[in-house]
A and B are shown apart, each in its own frame.
Chain A
Amino acid sequence: MIAEIDISLIDWSRAQFALTAIYHWLFVPLTLGLGIVQAIMETIYYKTGDEFWKKTAKFWMKIFGINFAIGVATGLILEFEFGTNWSNYSWFVGDIFGAPLAIEGVVAFFMEATFIAVMYFGWNKVSKGFHLTSTWLTIVGATISAFWILVANAWMQHPAGMHFNPDTVRNEMDSFWAVALSPVAINKFFHTVLSGWIIGGMVVAGISSWYLLKKRETKFALASIKVGVTFGLIACLLSMWTGDGSAMQVAEKQPMKLAAMEALYEGDNGVNLVGVGILNPSKKEYNDDKDPFLFKIDVPIPKFLSYLSFGKFNAYVPGIKDIIDGGYTTSDGSIALSALEKMRRGKLAVAALANYSLAKADSALFERRADSIKNAATAAESFAITSDGDTILLTSTELFAAKKADVYTRIAESRKQLNDNIKYFGYGYIKEPSDLIPPVALTFYAFRIMIILGGFLFLLFAISAYFSYKNKFETKRWLQWICLISILLAIIAGQAGWVVAEVGRQPWAIQDMLPTSAAISRLATSSVQITFFIFLALFTVLLIAELKIMINAIKKGPQINEQKN
């Protein structure tokens, strides 16, 4: 008898993965954002021939390089964890992850490794045009790498372009393009990369503001701020657009996540969007009658959640209770199944997989013994079997044929049962309907943090751009302070976005297909705890190293002789 999986093992495995992913995500957005900013600055240098812009671009390249060096390969730790802590999941996803991650590896290695060398070593050695092309290709390579990772993540949120093969117990790709160009993947890519651009713009504006506060490198700082805030403002606007697309994807494909984001327990037509709110900690059950909020203020656009989710102000948005109970009409016109019905179908799928594997084993046995059984039939022995209460005498050949037909019928029937219910396979591992509810408070607050900080950053970029283009930024010390502090806020907004995306889809490792309880390896919890704390120590040391090196580089400054320039 195999013991049940310990809940603490699931929690520690998730905590370890979250820690690694959060750490990795400190570096990636800055790489994506700063990469574009430095390329824009070098483009200005290429166009104008002004050495000031060359030195400006070189300084930001130095910051980019420090961030890149400390962050490089931290994503590989996530792949280690797949193999060790998430082995069931790794096997189950099969080649779906293999293709995008392999492309990511090749692109990352060849594009980034080749062009980043030209970017750093090639000044005055290659032509200005070739150098500029290399700078752009470095960031294009990094962005393409991010695309393939996000394709893999999007597939976990919305599995597409594959079928489950019970013979190999893994998913196999039917269409590479359905995986790569899934609407969830495209939207996730743009929304995530744009969040990186916002962080890049904010880091440039924040560090430059520090120079202004210190009354040094003024020309460099003002020029950098102009580029940084313009870039950040454009990224914010585009991010709002892609965020709207994300909301629609979530509403359609992950309604429970949307309900958790809004702490919406009971659905309705024409639902308002919560602006700010404090959740009621005494609400413990999804079906108790307690108000989920102690306090809330809706966004002053009526029925906005319905509109954002389905493009119609009167659209029905299901709440957590509705999703558990089922029975409402979904956006595609079908009637939603209850959680219990999905769990029943999931159990059928798992049972069908078990029956299929047994029937396949029997068929293999028959095939192996076919010749010997047929030879034995010449002895014309008779067997008595009972069918519908009658006794029928069969020769061993006839019995063999009947049994073989029975085995193949079992294979066909179990395969059909599996195919009919595979959509609900993951529900076969759900113990209680309430297990399908993600941590509501964490998802709700993380979503508010992302949205509120996103709105704040938009305003900050807009105000900063206004003063920057009016040539008044230098005198606005309050704004410089806000820009400096907002580096941290931009990073928090990006991390909060990932918390919404990943915590909000719990308990699923792969939406509807595999919960985390079935995805993890059977390890000792203590071994996961040990590696968690090893990572915590390692990451802290690396982060301190990065900050120390980066602060030193910032203190040293771009070393531009501004009077001369």
Chain B
Amino acid sequence: MKNSVLKRIISFYVEGFKNMTIGKTLWLIILVKLFIMFVILKIFFFPNYLGKFDEPAEKQEYILNEFIQRSNNL
């Protein structure tokens, strides 16, 4: 019973994707875009700035100093 429902859901999606026309182009664009975003931009251009600190306490310390120094440097 469960298998039958699962099969129907899978076949619903498979058939849907097979019968796409313009959708295939759109999916290609989506995949290229996601690749550019996550594999190129995120890794090479958008690292987590606070990721250089291992511990939350180090991040906290860094931010604390930033907030104090930026006010003092005015």
Contacts and interface: CB of A to CB of B under 8 A. Distances in A.
B39 interface: no
Interface residues of A, number: 56
B22 interface: yes
A495 interface: no
A117 B45 CA distance: 33
B67 A2 contact: no
B29 A2 contact: no
B3 interface: no
Nearest to B38: A76
Nearest to B21: A62
A287 interface: no
Interface in A89-148: 90-92, 117, 120-122, 125
A522 B66 contact: yes
Nearest to A66: B26
Contacts, number: 118
Contact of B67 (A65, A120, A122, A518): A518
Among B12, B49, B64, chain A packs the most CB atoms within 10 A around the CB of: B49
Given A65-B23, A549-B22, A91 B59 contact: yes
Interface in A327-348: 346-347
Given A69-B29, A83-B48, A91-B59, A169 B64 contact: yes
A190 to B, nearest CB: 30
B40 to A, nearest CB: 9
A521 B51 CA distance: 12
A180 B46 CA distance: 29
B67 A169 contact: yes
A161 to B, nearest CB: 22
Contact of A66 (B16, B22, B69, B73): B22
Q: Most A CB atoms within 10 A — which of B27, B48, B69, B70?
A: B70
Contacts of A314: none
A431 interface: yes
B4 interface: no
Contact of A353 (B50, B60, B68): B68
A83 B48 CA distance: 5
A231 B62 CA distance: 52
A73 B64 CA distance: 32
A350 B49 contact: no
A81 interface: yes
A509 B67 CA distance: 14
Contacts of B48: 83-84, 87
Interface string B47-64: 111110000000110011
A428 B71 contact: yes
Contact of A84 (B22, B27, B33, B47): B47
Nearest to A556: B22
B6 interface: no
Interface in A513-529: 517-518, 521-523, 527
B68 to A, nearest CB: 5
Given A80-B46, A431-B74, A88 B67 contact: yes
Interface of B: 12-13, 15-17, 19, 22-23, 25-27, 29-30, 33-34, 36-37, 41-42, 45-51, 59-60, 63-71, 73-74
10 cross-chain pairs, A with B, having the tightest CB-CB distances, nearest first: A121-B16, A87-B49, A69-B26, A80-B46, A350-B71, A84-B46, A521-B49, A83-B48, A428-B71, A2-B69
22 contacts: A2-B73, A70-B29, A72-B30, A73-B33, A73-B34, A73-B37, A83-B48, A83-B49, A84-B49, A117-B16, A125-B12, A169-B63, A169-B67, A170-B63, A353-B64, A354-B68, A357-B64, A429-B71, A430-B74, A518-B67, A534-B45, A538-B36
